[in-house]
Amino acid sequence: MKNNAMKIENLCKSFGKGDSKVDVIDGANFTLNKGEFVALVAPSGSGKTTLLMMLGCVLEPTSGKITIGEEVVYDNKWLVKDDRELRRKKIGFIFQHHYLIPFLNIEENVTLLPYQNKEDPKVVKPRVKEIMDYLDMHDKMKSMPSELSGGQNQRIAIARALANQPDIILADEPTAALDKQRAVSVVQMLKKITRERGVTIIMVTHDDRLLPYCDKVLTIKDKKIDIKTNEELKDAII
């Protein structure tokens, strides 16, 4: 249990009621370990965004159970007092576009979430400096997002996701706007983060070339979730 980052049990999501009811996810069961890099691969309209938003505790499931670390956060209802605080402290998000705040410099963008969590600046600043050094972006702290390339801004988005020291990072097609070389660079960086920092990353991707970098692949077919290990990746490509 202590090695578990997230455990999903019989997770279901439907929209509407009666004759208009639509089942999207039907009875998902899987466990992700700390430090795993997991791809979520599924056709458009299959429910992958719905699943990702449930895993991120943004969207309430219809039923089921979600355990993050050793804490049950959802069991047919939310068991946490403040789901926003849960997200701020335990979950990081990386999107297809970096969504950096254009009128804040890079340091201000990255430190924004820890400061919202009311962390001490004396603790936050050294942590952010370490992250920026780790991502080889230490010389961009005072730059504005408009002064950086797309790949650099995506690195800053990764730094922002790491700044609150999350257990889990959800990455929604983080390489979609990048060319192949930059996409591979970002994915290699994400894999390095899982290995060296013990963070579990779930990455939505349509790029089959990136799957060999992942430890597991989650797929959705006919509302059902399947999970395959690295050894089965070739058979997991949709």
Query: Rounded mean pLDDT of the chain?
Result: 87
Phi, psi of 203, deg, nearest 5:
-120, 120
When pLDDT is cut at 50, 70 and 90, the band that residue 212 belongs to is confident
Task: Determine if the pTM surpasses 0.85.
Answer: yes
Tell me what pLDDT residue 6 has.
94
State mean pLDDT over 137-141. 90
Q: Indicate the pairing of strand 200-204 with strand 168-172.
A: parallel
Decide: 155 and 137 in contact? Cβ < 8 Å.
Answer: yes
Q: Which of 14, 43, 17 shows the shortest CA–CA distance to 27? A: 14
Three-class DSSP category at 39: strand
Instruction: Write out pLDDT tens, residues 78-123.
Output: 998 888 888 888 899 988 778 899 999 999 999 998 888 888 999 9
Tell me what pLDDT residue 39 has.
92
CA dist., res. 128 & res. 135, Å (int): 11
Tell me what pLDDT residue 230 has.
67
Tell me what pLDDT residue 232 has.
67
Q: Which of 214, 176, 216, 221 shows the shortest CA–CA distance to 42? A: 221
- Assign domain 34-57+81-236 to its CATH superfamily: P-loop containing nucleotide triphosphate hydrolases (3.40.50.300)
Under 8 Å CB-to-CB from 189, ≥6 apart: which residues? 135, 155, 158
